[in-house]
Structure 1
Amino acid sequence: MIQTERLTLREFTEADAPFVLSLLQSPGWLQHIGDRGVYDLDSARGYIRKLEGSYREFGYGLWLAALKEDGRPIGMCGLLKRPTLPVEDIGYALLPEYAGRGYAEEAARATLQAARSRWGIDRVLAITTHANLRSIRLLWQLGFHLEKSIYMEGDEEELLLFSTVPEA
């Protein structure tokens, strides 16, 4: 678990399936991240089981971001280890009603700090679509640098690949 000033980042459990369904069916998720085949509570639980596999294998993954004051889930943020990328990448998403309030930056900064301090990960990647200007702006604010455009396996859309630079 990771605590920030306003958020708690924790592992997902199957009890979070209704929230996962809501987040993965939100317009922003579908537009900028894509359809992950989560259409009902059963498929949401299946998505969570994949996240739990990452926790077991690597010790990290995507975490549920909840408001510290009342535990209300508002999004997710964390590290992913994809076979198609050379190092971990950061992922984040919020329900639309919580966008633009600094929560994504707060969660991402805490995730990057945990990557360095807990797992010794200095270089982190990030991928986003050309159209996701809010995400691009956040990556600049976090100190990421644009490396190149890429295509992910099975995806027809060109993506932007960003990376952190290891601290000296």
Structure 2
Amino acid sequence: MITTKNLILKPICEDDIDIYSQILSCDDLTKYLPKGAAYTHDEIRLHVQNRIKHWEHGFGSYVICLKSNPAVKMGYVGVEHCENPIHSDIRYALLPEYQGSGFVLESAKAVLTETFKSRDLSKIYGVALRENIPSLVIIKKLGMQLETETRLYADVEGLETYSIEKFV
């Protein structure tokens, strides 16, 4: 578990299918994800199982909760291996009612710091479609720099790749 000024980040577990269902079943929240549309219930269940399984690598995704009310789940944030497991990237999403409050940036900074401290990663990537301006703003505020030579997801057109070097 990671705590920040306003948040508690808990490693994902089976009980967190509720927040993933809220996010991944919404067309507006999934339009910039690889599928580009809402996920089915079975796809969401598999997605959550894969997030849980990823923790076998010693790092992964967290559910973002309010520190003032830990029962409130707002979204998720985490660093996970990409298709090519020599690379890892940061991922995040918040329910609309919590967007614009700085919670993604606060949680993403904490996860980057924790992941660099606990794992032997020299670089973490951030990717977003060019049209996903809010995500690109977060990536840049995290201090990530544009990568012109590395393409993490070769089959996705219009994807910009950024990275940050280990800083702890």
Q: Tell me which amino acid in the other structure corresponds to 1:39.
A: T
SS in 2 for 1:100: coil
CA displacement, residues 124-156 of structure 1 (integer Å, 9 cap, x when unaligned)? 10110000111111111110001128472543x
- Indicate yes or no: 2:15 matched with 1:15: yes
What is the root-mean-square deviation of aligned Cα atoms in Å?
A: 2.2
Closer, same or farther: CA 104–152 of 1 in aligned 2, 3 Å: same
- Indicate yes or no: 2:43 matched with 1:39: no
SS in 1 for 2:122: coil
Instruction: Measure the CA separation in 2 of the matches of 1:19 and 1:47.
Output: 12
Q: Tell me which amino acid in the other structure corresponds to 1:165.
A: E
Q: Does the Cα contact within 8 Å between 1:66 and 1:75 map onto a contact in 2? A: yes
SS in 2 for 1:131: coil
Instruction: Measure the CA separation in 2 of the matches of 1:136 and 1:85.
Output: 23
Instruction: Measure the CA separation in 1 of the matches of 2:167 and 2:117.
Output: 12
- Indicate yes or no: 2:112 matched with 1:98: no
- Indicate yes or no: 2:112 matched with 1:146: no
Closer, same or farther: CA 94–54 of 1 in aligned 2, 3 Å: same
Q: Does the Cα contact within 8 Å between 1:105 and 1:138 map onto a contact in 2? A: yes
- Indicate yes or no: 2:118 matched with 1:112: no
Instruction: Measure the CA separation in 2 of the matches of 1:11 and 1:31.
Output: 25
Q: Tell me which amino acid in the other structure corresponds to 1:122.
A: S
2:59 is matched with: 60
Q: Does the Cα contact within 8 Å between 1:84 and 1:153 map onto a contact in 2? A: no
2:164 is matched with: 164
Q: Tell me which amino acid in the other structure corresponds to 2:39.
A: V
SS in 1 for 2:160: strand
The two structures have a TM-score, normalised by structure 2, of: 0.87
Deviation at 1:43, TM superposition (A): 4.0
Larger displacement relative to structure 2 (45-54 or 30-39): 30-39
Q: Tell me which amino acid in the other structure corresponds to 1:70.
A: N
Deviation at 1:45, TM superposition (A): 2.8
Identical residues among aligned pairs (%)? 24
Q: Does the Cα contact within 8 Å between 2:84 and 2:152 map onto a contact in 1? A: no
The two structures have a TM-score, normalised by structure 1, of: 0.87
CA displacement, residues 76-96 of structure 1 (integer Å, 9 cap, x when unaligned)? 101110233642111111111
